[in-house]
Structures are given as structure tokens and as C-alpha cells.
Amino acid sequence: MERKVYNVSGFDCPVCAGKTAKYIASQKGIKNAEIDFGKGKLYIDYKKEVWDLEKVKSLIADVEGDEVSVSEE
């Protein structure tokens, strides 16, 4: 398992961030995902293969209507 940390900004509220984390966590190959709204951090625990940044951005866009900025830490 490998944990990656991403910087995220643009979520309107903690509830929106939580829904996004839950959606990411439900994807195949992901053990867990959580967003720390206050710190602007997205934590993803990958089971095996780490996704590229574009895939992470795409999943966030599937859930969040507003533009969210994502970068690797």
C-alpha cells in the first residue's frame, strides 16, 4: 500500500469534500481516501498502482461541480 498526499482547494464546504472522498474511496484499487477540508489536503491510500494526477482530477470532477485545484504535494 502507498499513501499519496495532494493539495486541494476550491471545495465550497466540508460536506462536498466528504462526498468526493467517499467517491474516490469507492474506486477499485483504492483502500481509503479522505480530505482534510481545513488543511486543503487529499489523502489517498492506494492498494497497488498509484494513479496519475489527471485521473485524480477527473474523479473529483465527477462529483464536484465547481472547479477544484489539485496538485501533488
Walk along the chain (73 residues) in steps of 10 and give the mean pLDDT of each run. 95 93 96 96 96 95 91 93
pLDDT value of residue 65: 83
pLDDT value of residue 71: 96
User: CA 41, CA 71: separation in Å to the nearest integer?
Assistant: 10
> What is the spatial order of strands in the sheet that 30-36 belongs to?
30-36, 41-46, 2-9, 69-72
pLDDT value of residue 1: 85
- Domains contained in the chain, CATH given: 2-72 (3.30.70.100)
How far apart, in Å, are the Cα atoms of 26 and each of 23, 30, 39, 63? Answer: 5, 7, 23, 12
